[in-house]
Amino acid sequence: MKKIVLLSLAVFAALSLSAQQPRDWAQYGRYEQQNAALAGESVEVVFMGNSITDNWIGADPDFFARNGFVDRGISGQTTAEMLARFRRDVIDLNPKAVVILAGINDIAQNNGAIKLENVFGNIVSMCELAKFNGIRVVLCSVLPCDRFSWRPEIKPAAAVAELNTMLRQYAAEHKIPYVDYHAAFDNGSGGLDARFSQDGCHPTLYGYTLMEPMVVEGINKALRTKQARYTTPTPNE
């Protein structure tokens, strides 16, 4: 009897697994409907990124809505996942410019250990894909971070600084506007000041409103314009 029960459980588990939907590794489907709705529309700027970009539109929707910016951030994503969906979520929208903010989740080893040069290579590949398709790039530094609430054993500050050095040099060599959030928000120890974040990694609304003029300047440089764009007034700390 015991053998029959165990066999039945094994068969049930196997059937359950086979019935599960395949994993959408790069989350191609996350913005599928939104992208379809933009077909034929004129898109000026797409923001590609991870949770920092994903959370931005939730924290400050007016910044995106009033500027016509498109947010394509997905929380938790590494640069490999962003690169995989770059065609669908950026190139196919045919924007004039893309803002790329990526790399922190690679350092957090969200998908396992990865060398910084490979993280950098994934970001460069996104820049090259954009350029090949006539899309101007705004390249952002990784924000300061000296701890991960979800991976407390990792001390990321030095790796963040090293990756940012690579990105800054690449941007200078290729005449790409570089938005240096790290220099602006570093607390002096490679971390994100408590004024700008509750967890040491993700900005609060206060932090986002300080980031907005910086990225707008980068966008205008990339598009060679002095267009006035909306930024949300900074609230009290």
* Encoded tokens for 221: 């440089």
Domain ranges of the chain: 41-223
Q: Read off the pTM.
A: 0.89
Torsion angle of alpha carbons 217, 218, 223, 227, nearest 10°? Answer: -10
Strand partners, 186: 192
Residue range 63-75: mean pLDDT, rounded:
98
pLDDT band at 43 (very low <50, low <70, confident <90, very high): very high
- 99 in Cβ contact with 45 (< 8 Å): yes
What percent of the chain has a predicted confidence (pLDDT) above 70?
91
Percent of the chain with pLDDT over 90: 81
pLDDT of 200? 83
CATH (one of 3.60.15.10, 3.40.50.300, 3.40.50.970, 3.40.50.1110) for 41-223 = 3.40.50.1110
Which of 17-21, 79-83, 217-221, 231-235 shows the lowest mean pLDDT across its residues? Answer: 17-21
- Nearest of 70, 66, 55 to residue 205 by alpha carbon: 55
More confident residue, 201 or 104: 104
In three-state secondary structure terms, 115 is: coil
Reply yes or no on whether the pLDDT at 12 is more than 50. no
156 phi/psi in degrees, rounded to 5:
-90, -10
Q: Give the pLDDT mean for 149-159.
A: 91
pLDDT mean across residues, the chain: 91
**CA 168 vs CA 9, 52, 234: distances in Å:** 56, 19, 27
Q: Which tokens hold the place of 71? A: 């947010």
- The residues that bridge with 138 in the sheet, in sequence order, are 99
Helix ranges (H only) for 20-60 are 32-37, 51-59
